[in-house]
Amino acid sequence: MAREAGTGKTSVSRYLNGEMQVLSEDLRQRIEAAIQRLNYRPNQMARGLKRGRNRLLGMLVADLTNPYTIEVLQGVEAACHALGYMPLICHAANEIEMERRFVQLLTTYRVEGLIVNALGAEEAVLRPLRGGGIPAVLVDRTVEGFDADLVGLDNGDAVSLGVQHLLDQGFDAIQFIVQPFQQVSSRRERERAFREAMAARGRPAEPAVVLDPNDAASTERALAEIAARIDAVHRRGGKRLALFVANAPVALIVARHLRTQFGAAWQDRAALLSIDDPEWAELIGITTIRQPTYDIGYKAVEFVHERIEGVTGDARVVLLPGTLVERASTVHVIEAAS
């Protein structure tokens, strides 16, 4: 390339970096022409190697099949585009081993920063980042012992919003349903927030039903429990039981099961409300609390970017508010199907 333009590589480099003020018009044109002729593309890897920054930003997600993740991703992509980063998306597929492997990999590829929607509480998995001096920002979940910026949903506020809505609708029995929550901070917070929201309104909260989608036995047990609760409330002759589900994947499992159990009219038996607003919620009229997913992703990138640029200081926490999306599922009188 250097000699194709009849010049030294220095000038080519200058051209690539847009230092036009330092190039004679003639030379500039010769280089331009040569680039066209050779279809020349500078090698980003080499550039990165030389100047120590490659504009790569890692995005490590736990579960791509969760619509939440995809939505966050969109915010991340938009921000990366705006700030000039190339997002490197890695999918751990809910496997801690994958997560570990990707952290290693991203470290060796020297990404400049990393956004982590971590699987769980394994601080050890993220430790290589520290060693490599790679700034990280957590999304949705904290990791014990790992001090980093966090951006996510204001879980307390969101749950309170849902509880208030259900009470306003006149439901007197509310059952909270959540995945095993000890290891995942956002689930833990939602479970706690539910108890507190109920208590604050003078209602005792039944213990949460815990449903682990990765464990058939646990799932079955949880679904049976839910069925029993629905039955009990039904026999008591009160309103339908309201099911407050902590996130969309679980809500889907519950809804699927209720449908098998009670048929197409299952919503006459139980009212469903879920955090997350997946595409099917609108389709069957489920009230949800929508997370500001796009903003979460965008903000996360802004945070890593600041850290990359050298901002120091204590870990920051940004909790964005959710929005209640009212649909038919929580209206307490269901109109008969015409």
List of residues contacting DNA (CB under 7 A): 1, 6-14, 16-17, 21-24, 26-28, 41-43, 46-47, 49-52
What span, in angstroms and rounded, lies between the C-alpha atoms of 53 and 75? 23
Task: Compare residues 52 and 131 and give the one whose CB is closer to DNA.
Answer: 52
Choose the one of DNA, a second copy, none that binds residue 199, judging by a C-beta under 5 to 8 angstroms depending on kind: none
DSSP code of residue 203: -
> Could you tell me the two tokens for 34?
């040569």
Shortest distance, CB of residue 12 to DNA, whole angstroms?
7
What span, in angstroms and rounded, lies between the C-alpha atoms of 310 and 82? 19
Contact string 219-258 vs a second copy (x = CB under 8 A): ---------------------------------x--xx--
Contact string 144-183 vs a second copy (x = CB under 8 A): ----------------------------------------
Shortest distance, CB of residue 30 to DNA, whole angstroms?
9
Tracing tokens 């629905």 back to the chain, one arrives at: 230
- The Cβ-side half-sphere exposure at 83, using a 13 Å CA radius, reads 25
What span, in angstroms and rounded, lies between the C-alpha atoms of 194 and 200? 10
**290 strand-pairing partners:** 323
List the end-to-end C-alpha distance of the chain, in Å, as a whole number: 74
Task: Using CB under 8 A, pick the residue from 2, 23, 27, 89 that binds a second copy.
Answer: 89
Element (H, E) at 80: helix 67-83
Contact string 101-130 vs a second copy (x = CB under 8 A): ---xx-xxxx-----------------x--
Task: Compare residues 16 and 315 and give the one whose CB is closer to DNA.
Answer: 16
Task: Compare residues 50 and 235 and give the one whose CB is closer to DNA.
Answer: 50
What span, in angstroms and rounded, lies between the C-alpha atoms of 139 and 115? 7
Shortest distance, CB of residue 145 to a second copy, whole angstroms?
17
Q: Which H, E and C letters describe 2-38, residue by residue?
A: CCCCCCCHHHHHHHHCCCHHHCCHHHHHHHHHHHHHH
Residue 65 interacts with a second copy (CB under 8 A): yes or no: yes
Shortest distance, CB of residue 189 to a second copy, whole angstroms?
26
Choose the one of a second copy, DNA, none that binds residue 284, judging by a C-beta under 5 to 8 angstroms depending on kind: a second copy
What span, in angstroms and rounded, lies between the C-alpha atoms of 197 and 208? 13
Nearest to 278 by CA among 270, 269, 287: 287
Residue 53 interacts with a second copy (CB under 8 A): yes or no: no
DSSP H helix total and E strand total for the chain: 12, 12
- Which positions touch a second copy (CB under 8 A)? 39, 41-46, 48-49, 54, 64-65, 70, 73-74, 77, 86, 88-89, 91, 93, 104-105, 107-110, 128, 131-132, 252, 255-256, 259, 262-265, 279-280, 282-285, 335, 337-338
